[in-house]
């Protein structure tokens, strides 16, 4: 079974509380989502392999370490995943970014694909699928299936808030995908919204309603 990790760093938890607050407007919401994504990226990349190199300092030669040249791909699920891209790129600037466009049909809650543009070499990349909300898990599961259908092998999923239902769905559909979240909330309501959650992530990021 894939790993579920709740990232309980105090800075992540503090900023997540501000993000949840209905009084937080779009500008601040966007800034906070970007900041939390950057902090989460630090934890999600913890298992990246290193290789030893020698560096000439002004004083002597140091045996030091650098990332072992793995290629990374970030895959935001449109639209709300876009809010997390820049924060992650601050820490992983060489990452390529692919986009998967999905929206939830409000009646069926099933994901509908409307866009997909990925780096050509996704099979060789460590991919991190990003989306603030993991509710029923339909969108994340579908996005991961698209990636696997196109050859991706090494995939992680990173979300701000998850419902238990969404975690179970992704784990049963993709038991090779580790999931990283900042919080696991209580449940979904009848409209598939996470309770207590933060509301509609896309609307809050982009000021739509
Ligand atoms: C939201 C969210 C996820 C999805 C989660 O997107 O950003 O992609 O819902 O729900 P699920 O786990 O039940 O699939 P939404 O469909 O509202 O589209 P948007 O990002 O374009 O607003
Ligand atoms: N999508 C959102 O934006 N919020 C939820 O609570 C569930 C799905």
Query: Residue 130 contacts by C-beta under 8 Å, 6 or more apart in sequence?
Result: 37, 74, 75, 76, 77, 81, 84, 85, 88, 157, 158, 159
Looking at the CA of residue 132, tell me the nearest atom of ligand 2. Answer: 3
Query: What is residue 109's predicted lDDT score, i.e. its pLDDT?
Result: 84
Structure tokens at 1: 């079974």
Q: How many CA atoms lie within 13 A of 137 on its CB side?
A: 19
Residues 191, 93: Cα–Cα separation, whole Å: 37
Return the H-helix or E-strand segment holding 38.
helix 26-44
Q: Tens of pLDDT along 68-77?
A: 977 999 999 9
Q: Which of 8, 70, 108, 121 is an active site residue? A: 108
Residues of the chain with pLDDT under 50: none
Closest residue CA from atom 3 of ligand 2: 200
Q: Are 157 and 134 within 8 A, CB to CB?
A: yes
Query: What is residue 105's predicted lDDT score, i.e. its pLDDT?
Result: 87
Structure tokens at 90: 């601050």
Query: What is residue 103's predicted lDDT score, i.e. its pLDDT?
Result: 86
**Which pairing describes strands 133-134 and 125-130: parallel, antiparallel, or unpaired?**
unpaired
Looking at the CA of residue 193, tell me the nearest atom of ligand 2. Answer: 6
Q: Are 79 and 202 within 8 A, CB to CB?
A: yes
Ligand positioned closest to the Cα atom of 138 = 1
Query: How far, in Å, is the centroid of ligand 2 from the Cα of 133?
Result: 6
Residues 162, 134: Cα–Cα separation, whole Å: 5
| Cα dihedral 34→134→45→99 (10° resolution) | -70
Residues 203, 91: Cα–Cα separation, whole Å: 26
Residue whose C-alpha is closest to residue 7's, from 189, 195, 183: 183
Establish whether residue 197 lines the binding site of ligand 2, counting it when its CB lies within 6 angstroms of any ligand atom: yes
Q: Are 126 and 95 within 8 A, CB to CB?
A: no
Query: How far, in Å, is the centroid of ligand 2 from the Cα of 63?
Result: 47
pTM passes above 0.85: yes
Query: What is residue 158's predicted lDDT score, i.e. its pLDDT?
Result: 98
């Amino acid at each position: 079974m894939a790993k579920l990790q709740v990232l309980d760093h105090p800075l992540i938890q503090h900023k997540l509380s501000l993000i949840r607050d209905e009084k937080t407007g779009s500008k601040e919401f966007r800034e906070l989502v970007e900041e939390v994504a950057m902090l989460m990226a630090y934890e999600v990349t913890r298992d990246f392999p290193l290789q030893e190199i020698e560096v000439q300092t002004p004083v002597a030669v140091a045996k030091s370490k650098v990332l072992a040249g793995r290629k990374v791909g970030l895959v935001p699920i449109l639209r709300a995943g876009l809010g997390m891209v820049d924060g992650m790129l601050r820490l992983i600037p060489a990452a390529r970014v692919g986009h998967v466009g999905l929206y939830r049909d409000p009646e069926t809650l099933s994901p509908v694909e409307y866009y997909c543009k990925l780096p050509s070499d996704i099979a060789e990349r460590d991919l991190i699928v990003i989306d603030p909300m993991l509710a029923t898990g339909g969108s994340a599961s579908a996005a991961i299936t698209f990636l696997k259908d196109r050859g991706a092998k090494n995939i992680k999923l990173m979300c701000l808030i998850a419902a238990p239902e969404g975690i179970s769905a992704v784990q049963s559909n993709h038991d090779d995908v580790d999931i990283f979240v900042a919080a696991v909330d209580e449940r979904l309501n009848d409209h598939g919204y996470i309770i207590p959650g933060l509301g509609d992530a896309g609307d809050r990021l982009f000021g739509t309603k």
